[in-house]
């Protein structure tokens, strides 16, 4: 059986390229930028008045002049005007172009205006004050956003300001999420005593929505010919198939044999981990197949631990590993990596992971009580309070 580290490496090495698409910029939050965004002009594009007040020629102030006749007004959105007489001033508004021949702006708070004369009431005025110089932030042609950035509200503002009404982003994979099992009924149904409602497909849908990946869902019963026929058509249509269930040792766990019969090349089946051990992963020329074990926490943790990194690698994004400090001693004897559910909190600026006691990988409700999994390595059995390990967050 391979280790979590080996399995992850195999999964990452088989990342797929889904190509690039151009979409309206306002729909691009959360997507991965696939072009460089450059400044189309200087930032700011003109000497920008930064305070409401008066603009003067600094030389006049330096020569001792304190009262200035108001010659005109420069509003934001008006073409640049020019100071006619260097001993006068122009009223200026924040966001306006600095009038020609002016080189300092004094706030209204520091000026007294009467009968069209503005008198400066402070002693300290400096050359260039309250002026946001043209090109001070960025020069035309500077790279403002690097390729492969995850677009957030911050990038949306920059895209708007450089006039990028459409933007190139990584195409999302076409994903089909399939639940299997005769015991599963729809969310709207009232289950009989021996049935349960399906939930794994919906956790998967929403784990993918977090990545802005749309998906479709299907449910298949434990009937081998039906499984084979349906999965054959899914393989022809989708980039990614995510399964939950039917990969263990049961009499009706048909998935591994069906996938093999359909020509999906197995990379591995079973990883030395708990929960999620019977995870099956394989590929065809065009599709990747993640067949997660059906126990709800197994499906959940494997999507986070394998599908997420595979997806980020596929679209060219480097993920930073996150660590946390274990809040108490933990003992785990099996020679398996242990994905332990934890609550996260901060203490003196450090991220603390406090274990949650659940009842194994079928304890779906315990997911609600935790925020993340802490990944305790297989080669260790005793984990001490204060030791630091990798975490995988879902909140």
Ligand X SMILES: Nc1nc2c(c(=O)[nH]1)N[C@H]1C(S)=C(S)[C@@H](COP(=O)(O)OP(=O)(O)OC[C@H]3O[C@@H](n4cnc5c(N)ncnc54)[C@H](O)[C@@H]3O)O[C@H]1N2
Kindly give the residue spans of alpha helices, DSSP state H, lying in 173-322: 200-209, 224-237, 255-261, 296-302, 308-314
CB 295 to Mg ion: min, Å: 9
Residue 173's nearest CA partner among 231, 215, 217 is 215
Distances (CA, A) of 128 to 50, 74, 235, 379: 11, 17, 66, 65
Residue 304: phi and psi, rounded to 5, are: -70, -40
User: Which parts of 1-142 fold into alpha helices (H)?
Assistant: 4-13, 58-62
Q: Which residue is nearest to Mg ion (CB)?
A: 250
Question: What's the CA gap between 268 and 183, in Å, rounded?
Answer: 27
CB of 362 to ligand MOO, least distance (A): 7
Choose the contact partner of 200 out of Mg ion, ligand X, ligand MOO, none; CB within 5 to 8 A by kind: ligand X
Name which position in 277, 288, 311, 370 contacts ligand MOO (CB under 6 A).
Answer: 277
C-beta closer to ligand X: residue 60 or 200: 200
CB of 1 to ligand MOO, least distance (A): 12
Query: For ligand X, which residue has the nearest CB?
Result: 294
Task: Name the β-bridge partners of 16.
Answer: none
Q: How many angstroms separate the CA atoms of 34 and 322, rounded?
A: 25
Answer yes or no whether residue 253 interacts with Mg ion by CB under 5 A: yes
Nearer to ligand X, 73 or 272 (CB): 272
Q: How far is the CB of 42 from ligand X (least distance, A)?
A: 56
**C-beta of 145: minimal distance to ligand X in Å?**
40
Q: What does the binding site for ligand X look like in residue numbers (CB under 6 A)?
A: 179-181, 183-184, 196, 198-201, 244-250, 253, 275, 277-278, 293-296, 298, 361-362
Q: Considering the complex, what minimum distance in angstroms separates the CB of residue 288 from ligand X? A: 18
Stretch that binds ligand MOO, among 142-150, 184-192, 220-228, 293-301 (CB under 6 A): 293-301
**How many whole angstroms separate alpha carbon 345 and alpha carbon 189?**
38
Does the protein bind ligand MOO through residue 276 (CB under 6 A)? yes
Of positions 103, 274, 310, 344, contacts ligand MOO by CB under 6 A: 274
E strand map for 37-160? 37-38, 48-49, 53-56, 67-74, 88-92, 104-107, 111-114, 117-120, 131-132, 143-145
Q: How far apart are CA 257 and CA 254, in angstroms?
A: 6
Report the residue number, 132 or 198, with the smaller CB distance to ligand X.
Answer: 198
- Residue 355 in contact with ligand MOO, rule: CB under 6 A: no
* Residue 269 binding ligand MOO, by CB under 6 A: no
Cβ atoms 203, 296 nearer than 8 A: yes
User: 198 is in the binding site of which of Mg ion, ligand X, ligand MOO, none (Cβ under 5 to 8 A by kind)?
Assistant: ligand X
Measured from the CB atom, the residue of 81 and 247 that comes closer to ligand MOO is 247
Select the span of 185-193, 249-257, 290-298, 364-372 touching ligand MOO (CB under 6 A). 290-298
- Decide: 269 and 290 in contact? Cβ < 8 Å: no
| Residues contacting 189, CB < 8 A, separation 6+ | 197
Pairing of strands 322-326, 388-393: antiparallel
Q: DSSP alpha helices (H): ranges in 81-199?
A: 153-161
Measured from the CB atom, the residue of 238 and 243 that comes closer to ligand MOO is 243
Under rule CB under 5 A, residue 250 binds Mg ion: yes
Handedness of CA 381, 383, 389, 393 (dihedral sign): positive
Per-residue binding letters, 295-334, with ligand MOO (x by CB under 6 A): x--x------------------------------------
**Measured distance between the N- and C-terminal CA atoms of the chain, rounded to whole angstroms:** 31
Based on the shown chain and the rule CB under 6 A, indicate whether residue 361 belongs to the binding site for ligand MOO.
Answer: yes
Q: Which does 326 bind (CB under 5 to 8 A by kind): Mg ion, ligand MOO, ligand X, none?
A: none
Considering only 65, 248, 267, 283, the residue that binds Mg ion (CB under 5 A) is: 248
DSSP 8-state code for residue 318: P
**Inter-residue contact 392 to 372 (CB < 8 Å):** yes
Q: Can residue 294 be called a binding residue for ligand MOO (CB under 6 A)?
A: no
Supply the minimum distance, in Å, between the C-beta of residue 287 and Mg ion. Answer: 23
- The option from ligand X, ligand MOO, Mg ion, none interacting with 343 (CB < 5 to 8 A, set by class) reads none
Q: What angle do CA 132, 136, 107 make, to 5 degrees?
A: 10
Rounded to an integer, what distance in angstroms lies between the CA atom of residue 277 and that of residue 353? Answer: 23
- Contact residues for ligand MOO, defined by CB under 6 A: 274-277, 293, 295, 298, 361
């Amino acid at each position: 059986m391979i280790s979590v580290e080996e399995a992850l490496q195999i999964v990452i090495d088989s990342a797929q390229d889904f190509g690039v698409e151009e979409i309206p910029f306002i729909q691009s939050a959360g997507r991965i930028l696939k072009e460089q965004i450059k400044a189309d002009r200087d930032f700011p594009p003109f000497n920008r008045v930064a305070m409401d007040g008066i603009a003067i020629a600094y030389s006049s102030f330096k020569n001792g002049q304190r009262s200035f006749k108001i010659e005109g007004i420069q509003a934001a959105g008006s073409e640049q005007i020019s100071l006619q007489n260097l001993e006068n001033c122009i009223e200026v508004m924040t966001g306006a172009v600095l009038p020609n021949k002016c080189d300092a702006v004094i706030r209204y708070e520091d000026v007294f205006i009467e009968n069209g004369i503005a008198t400066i009431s402070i002693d300290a005025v400096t050359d260039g004050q309250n002026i946001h110089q043209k090109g001070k932030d960025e020069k035309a042609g500077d790279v403002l956003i690097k390729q492969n950035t995850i677009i957030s509200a911050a990038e949306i503002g920059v895209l708007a300001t450089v006039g990028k009404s459409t933007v190139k982003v990584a195409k999302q994979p076409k994903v089909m999420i399939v639940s299997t099992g005769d015991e599963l009924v729809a969310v709207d149904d009232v289950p009989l005593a021996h049935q349960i409602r399906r939930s794994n497909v919906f956790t998967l849908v929403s784990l993918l929505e977090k990545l802005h990946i749309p998906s479709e869902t299907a449910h298949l019963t434990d009937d081998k010919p039906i499984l084979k026929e349906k999965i054959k058509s899914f393989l022809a249509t989708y980039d990614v198939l995510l399964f939950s269930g039917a990969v263990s040792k049961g009499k009706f766990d048909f998935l591994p044999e069906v996938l093999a019969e359909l020509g999906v090349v197995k990379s591995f089946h079973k990883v030395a981990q708990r929960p999620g051990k019977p995870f099956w992963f394989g590929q065809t020329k065009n599709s990747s197949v993640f067949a997660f074990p059906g126990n709800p926490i197994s499906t959940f943790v494997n999507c986070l631990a394998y599908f997420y990194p595979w997806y980020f690698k596929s679209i060219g994004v480097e993920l930073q590993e996150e660590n946390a400090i274990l809040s108490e001693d933990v003992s785990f004897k099996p020679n398996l990596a242990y994905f332990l559910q934890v609550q996260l909190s901060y203490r003196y600026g450090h991220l603390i992971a406090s274990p949650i006691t659940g009842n194994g990988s079928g304890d779906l409700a315990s997911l609600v009580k935790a925020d993340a999994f802490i990944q305790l390595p297989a080669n260790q059995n005793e984990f001490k309070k204060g030791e630091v390990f990798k975490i995988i967050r879902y909140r």
